[in-house]
Amino acid sequence: MILDDVSLAGNQAPAANDPSHSGQRPGGFFALRMQRLAAFEREFIAGLLERHCGDVAAAAREAQLPRGTLYRLLKKHSLNPKAFRGTQPSVTSV
């Protein structure tokens, strides 16, 4: 065995049922990563739709995403392109 020289005192070894070592505790890395990713996706897509006044095809082109992927993300984040159709673009093209 490679670890023959290593010994752990009883209080140094993590317990098998210790939730802090399972990687699944609430607020852990993966949960926080998913929350941040979801927030980024929602903000990014909302910004695209605002700039393109709800035009999904134009938003997909700018994002370099297939329209189907953008529609899937719209559904995932409960975003309705129609809600952005009356908005003025935040950046005007010259």
Question: Is pLDDT of 4 > 70?
Answer: no
Specify if 57 maps to a domain: yes
Taking only the tens place, the pLDDT of each residue in 21-49 is: 555 566 799 999 999 999 999 999 999 99
pLDDT the model gives residue 1? 47
Specify if 39 maps to a domain: yes
Angle at CA of residue 38, ends 93 and 85, nearest 5°: 35
pTM over 0.85: no
Question: Is pLDDT of 75 > 90?
Answer: yes
Structurally, the chain folds into a number of domains equal to 1
- In this prediction, residues 73-90 reach a mean pLDDT of 88
- In this prediction, residues 59-71 reach a mean pLDDT of 98
Name residues whose C-beta falls within 8 Å of residue 87's C-beta, 6 or more positions apart in sequence: 50, 53, 54
Q: Give me the domain span that covers residue 60.
A: 28-84
CA–CA separation, 38 and 15 (whole Å): 33
The closest of 54, 36, 33 to 45, measured between CA atoms, is 54
